[in-house]
Amino acid sequence: MLSDSPSRGSEGPVLANRLSVFALALFVIYGVRVVATAIPLRPFDTLWQLSVSSTLISAAAIPLVGLGLLHLAAYLDPANAALEKRRNVLARWAILAVLGFLLLIPLQTYASWSTVATARTRLTTQLSIANRNFAVVREAINAATSLEDLQVRLQALQSPELGIRFENLGLPLPETQRQMLIRLNEIEEQVKARIKAPPPEAIENVATNTLRVTATSVVYALAFAIAAQRRGQEVPLLVEVLTIWSLRRQGRPPRPGSPGAIEEDYFAQLAPPEDDPPASP
């Protein structure tokens, strides 16, 4: 039994090193996925913003698990200074992850509703152009004074967008105008039927996706805040923020000084109030 003690004592550092390697591999995998989605860079493109945001959120569990493994590795091998330094550096970088996921909420909301607004604006523009073009053709038909004048006017107004090719029907002018207006109305209905507004289901999907992204971003921000840690602090960022917020609600300013001051305040609030000592006789 005694011969197994050295082997058992070395299992912690070996496992810690393996977990550290696994953590770094997860960070690399996440970085590759994000970079592959973000290239080529189009920061002002709404679809690009939505795509990158979706990748950042959908794959966020990868670096979160990696950060957790790194914390576990540092716990298993506290004597490994290099491992502890790596953990501290990535814990500080996790603060940027917290801020990033919080910033994704307004960014994703803006990008989603901007897509809907752009579709509606495009629809309005297309309908306006179609109405204007058909109104011009209709006016030309009604204003013609003869079949020759009608033909000249229509030839001058022909455009590929309208797709209208009027022919001389061999009828008197009034009847020709009536037939052409009937055909014009039919084509106008066909064109407007192809210009469709975003269906209500699409808008509902945008709203649902925005709520899902918001909730997921908040959860990941809190999760990374538990693993994040500012320089010189001995408690996670989430504990530090909650403690400062609680102290300010109580009207007590956070105590400056030693790094453990916030930790002491936090655990002091968790502990039940001590009973007053009995009065001496």
Nearest residue to 93 via CA among 227, 218, 251, 189: 227
Which two tokens mark 225?
A: 């805040």
Which two tokens mark 96?
A: 């940027």
What local confidence, expressed as pLDDT, does residue 265 receive?
52
Cα 92 to chain center, whole Å? 23
Nearest residue to 27 via CA among 78, 62, 69, 72: 62
User: How far is CA 192 from each of CA 125, 178, 187, 256, rounded to the nearest angstrom?
Assistant: 12, 21, 9, 68
Task: Please name the residues in contact with 141: beta carbons below 8 A apart, sequence gap of 6 or more.
Answer: 150, 153, 154, 177, 180, 181, 184
What local confidence, expressed as pLDDT, does residue 114 receive?
82
Task: Please name the residues in contact with 200: beta carbons below 8 A apart, sequence gap of 6 or more.
Answer: none
Cα–Cα dist 94/99, whole Å: 9
Cα–Cα dist 216/226, whole Å: 16
Cα–Cα dist 241/225, whole Å: 9
Residue 263 amino acid letter: E
Judge contact between 146 and 240, C-beta under 8 A. Answer: no
Judge contact between 105 and 215, C-beta under 8 A. Answer: no
pLDDT along the chain (281 residues), means of 10: 51 89 95 93 86 91 94 91 91 93 89 81 86 88 85 73 54 83 86 76 78 91 92 83 81 55 49 46 43
What local confidence, expressed as pLDDT, does residue 181 receive?
87
> Quick one: residue 251, left, alpha or beta (phi over 0 = left, psi -120 to 50 = alpha)?
left
Is the alpha carbon torsion for 108, 111, 116, 117 positive or negative? Answer: positive
